[in-house]
Amino acid sequence: MTSTGMNIRGIELRRVELPLVSPFRTSFSTQTERDVLLLRVETDDGEGWGECVAGEDPLYSSEYVDASADVLRRFLVPALSAYREGAGITSAIDVGQALAPVKGHRMAKAALEMAVLDAELRAQGRPLSRELGSVVDRVPSGVSVGIQDSIPRLLDAVGGYLAEGYVRIKLKIEPGWDLEPVRAVRERFGDDVLLQVDANTAYTLRDARHLARLDPFDLLLIEQPLEEEDVLGHAELARRIEMPVCLDESIVSAQTAAAAITLGACSIINIKPGRVGGYLEARRIHDLAVAHGVAVWCGGMLETGIGRAANAALAALPGFTLPGDISASGRFYATDITEPFVLDDGHIAVPTGPGLGVTPLPEILDEVTTTTEWIPLP
């Protein structure tokens, strides 16, 4: 990235509330709406947008949206201007170093880095996809299917998504909702459907024999079956089952990815930029995985069009060889805050405009906004 210097005047924290088109149930919660924290960075040359993917409650990870807003307000935003003995950052590449003294809070850090990246690249007329190293102009789109009330309801949902053109189906699973849903989907839709499962840490190594019963269904992968800190357990599980083990919650940095690969804990990594602290760290994980022959794909966190645009740019890198969770806006939202992303022949187009390539639609943004807060920088 070319550093041309930048002066950040201030940062707006904006909360918006968006209802989901249908409840989304995982092994740890059921969501019916999203309380989203957006960031708008204002510089001498323009503005940039970022999205924090932290949920309302600390259930997927230790982060939650109220805490993200608090740490941004009290620590992270002030850290930008305090960097280099008060000289401040000169480029988005400085953001990680400026925020490093604050432990954790990767989702909040990622949102701030995203907004600064967007502002800087917009001013330079450069798209994020090109900056990250994209090699395609569209990415294959998979869809995540939450836990349903019944098998017939699950089959209706999967059938609908396949009819829309999604190229890969991911089923959320938990103890008591695993073998039968997978079997039913395979029997109804056949072996040609790309199918994977996501446990969101719902199992333990004691369930290895049970999870091995999923092997005959020719799944692409099983995602994060064990607790996020149980990397050794995942390595042992990978030796006991045939389907590839993919890590999600366990991977929070390039360093943890390297450890997991070395230990044999995974052969696939789900890269979520918010979980790892930003898109620049996500690219480092991508490069590491490619060097070790480990496949990667881009996960989703029910993002609005802001985060979805950035994810599409990331997923256009060469190492993303599996379909990600970058679905159409309509999968989760009847009305998105940007121009909606639509499915075209099973793919989502990578934005080509400067920065993220999208901006919020003012009238829709105002309608869904619940609070705003302006933080000036000295």
Main-chain dihedrals φ then ψ at residue 20, nearest 5 degrees:
-80, 150
Active-site option among 103, 109, 170, 172: 172
Q: Is the pLDDT of residue 21 over 70?
A: yes
Q: Which two tokens stand for residue 78?
A: 């002030």
314 closest CA partner among 287, 340, 341, 339: 287
pTM, rounded to two decimals: 0.95
| Three-state SS at 100 | coil
pLDDT in tens, 38-57: 999 999 999 999 999 999 99
Rg (CA), the chain: 20
pLDDT in tens, 249-274: 999 999 999 999 999 999 999 999 99
Angle subtended by helix axes 279-291 and 305-315, to nearest 10: 30
Euclidean distance between CA atoms 189 and 158, whole angstroms:
9
Exposed, middle or buried, 46 (CB in 10 Å: 0-12/13-18/19+)? middle
pLDDT in tens, 321-378: 999 999 999 999 999 999 999 999 999 999 999 999 999 999 999 999 999 999 999 8
Active-site option among 103, 109, 170, 272: 272
> Do β-strands 245-247 and 222-223 pair in parallel, antiparallel, or remain unpaired?
parallel
| Three-state SS at 269 | strand
Q: Is the pLDDT of residue 317 over 80?
A: yes
Angle subtended by helix axes 231-240 and 254-263, to nearest 10: 40
172 is catalytic: yes
Q: How is the beta sheet containing 142-145 ordered, strand by strand?
A: 142-145, 168-172, 194-198, 222-223, 245-247, 268-271, 295-298
Q: Which two tokens stand for residue 341?
A: 């992303």
pLDDT in tens, 179-188: 999 999 999 9
Residues 6+ apart with CB under 8 A from 183: 217
351 closest CA partner among 17, 49, 23, 3: 49
Euclidean distance between CA atoms 155 and 255, whole angstroms:
40
